[in-house]
Amino acid sequence: EVQLVQSGAEVKKPGESLKISCKGSGYTFNTYWIGWVRQMPGKGLEWMGIIYPDDSDTRYNPAFQGQVTMSVDKSLNTAYLQWSSLKASDTAIYYCARHRVKGSYYANWFEYWGLGALVTVTS
Amino acid sequence: DIQMTQSPSSVSASVGDTVTITCRASEDISNLLGWYQQKPGRAPKLLIYAASGVQTGVPSRFSGSGSGTDFTLTISSLQPEDFASYYCQQAHTLPPTFGQGTKVEI
């Protein structure tokens, strides 16, 4: 059974750093793109970017480029999303999700999703 | 970025109704459109890929159609568990973009 298990909710202050995680199991982790999707309170879905675990090839949404960093640890079957300096506007639920088809990032949709990690940034 | 516009933003319906949600892309995306369902407090769930492909395990009352710029999601014989928000997403051009969502309410 494919599962994506995300780290728990976080409460941080503006300016602090944060790294959240997403551990995949039940499939060959290295061969499917994993992505991150933001959902701000009461709002819709925003595609942040994707990373290919086998070689850490990354595609960022320009809207998030430079604001977050995606990484993976293949030995742990885990993907990460990190911030170096959080803002109040980063308050949101962050979902990790795995593509439906292995290998290509093109013409692909997110089939498996984590439960989401609520990040709250408040002074 | 390709803009995805859904209509309506919300729709009121009853159990047994047929509901149609429309998604329009700002440019031709061929058939590279998917639909997700999201219930409150839950992660999205993929329903439809490549405009009309029904994801494994999704009830047959869900169907998708369209190509180019205009797409529809149809829910036939609405069930109580179908009351949720629905999002379209294009997978033609990076970055993939979502529609703003359609809430199906009782």
**What parts of chain B have a pLDDT lower than 70?**
none
pLDDT tens across A13-55, in order? Answer: 999 999 999 999 999 999 999 999 999 999 999 999 999 999 9
pLDDT of residue A75: 95
Q: Which of A74, A89, A94 is nearest to A28 (CA)?
A: A74
Q: Does A108 touch chain B (CB under 8 A)?
A: yes
DSSP A47-93: EEEEEETTTTEEEE-TTTBTTBEEEEEGGGTEEEEEESS--GGG-EE
Top pLDDT among A105 and B60 is at B60
- Enumerate the residues of chain B whose CB falls inside 8 A of the CB of residue A111: 46, 55
Substitution target in B23, B49, B58 with the highest count of A β-carbons within 10 Å is: B49
Q: Does B99 touch chain A (CB under 8 A)?
A: yes
Structure tokens of B40? 């409150």
Q: Binning pLDDT at 50, 70 and 90, where does residue A104 land?
A: confident
pLDDT tens across B55-67, in order? Answer: 999 999 999 999 9
Q: Does A61 touch chain B (CB under 8 A)?
A: yes
pLDDT of residue A73: 97
